[in-house]
């Protein structure tokens, strides 16, 4: 088992990662009857894409002796209705440190093969931008 999720009422859940005990809270977004006081479940999906991309790039960068320290990702989630779903995730990855064009290409390809990217529905638009110094 990976985690437990407990409904706390008022459209809030508590999610506990069993291996570490770390907890995240989710709240329904303000555009769907919630308070928006924490990540919504769909926010966590969009954010997981960027987190996964940075993680697999970090793994690859370690084998290439390239530092990704300070690299950030800005995430925008776009919702659609009927059915209500995530229709688009926009990720802009801003690298803090320069590297060669060859390394850039390797790292970008690595990011696009991350497990979350590969798991998202093909109809969901993924707009990924890599910004190098």
Please give the radius of gyration of the chain, using alpha carbons only, rounded to the nearest integer: 17
Helices and strands: H and E segment counts in the chain:
3, 6
d(CA 51, CA 48): 5
Neighbours of 48 (CB within 10 A): 19
By three-state DSSP, how is residue 130 classified? strand
By three-state DSSP, how is residue 110 classified? helix
Task: Give the domain 41-131 fold.
Answer: GMP Synthetase; Chain A, domain 3 (3.30.300)
Each residue of 56-67: pLDDT tens digit? 999 999 999 999
- Band (pLDDT 50/70/90 cuts) for residue 19 is very high
Each residue of 31-40: pLDDT tens digit? 999 999 999 9
Torsions phi, psi of 8, nearest 5?
-100, 0
Where does CATH 3.30.300.20 sit in the chain? 41-131
pTM tops 0.85: yes
């Amino acid at each position: 088992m990976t985690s437990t999720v407990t409904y706390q009422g008022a459209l809030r859940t508590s999610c506990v990662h069993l291996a570490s005990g770390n907890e995240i809270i989710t709240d329904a977004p303000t555009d769907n009857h919630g308070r928006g006081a924490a990540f919504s479940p769909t926010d966590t999906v969009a954010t997981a894409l960027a987190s996964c991309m940075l993680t697999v790039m970090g793994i690859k960068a370690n084998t290439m002796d390239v530092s990704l320290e300070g690299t950030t990702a800005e995430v925008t989630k776009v919702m659609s209705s009927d059915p209500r779903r995530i229709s688009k995730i926009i990720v802009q990855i801003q690298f803090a440190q320069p590297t060669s064009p060859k390394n850039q290409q390797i790292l970008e390809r690595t990011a696009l093969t991350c497990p979350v990217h590969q798991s998202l529905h093909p109809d969901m638009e993924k707009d990924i931008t890599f910004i190098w110094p």
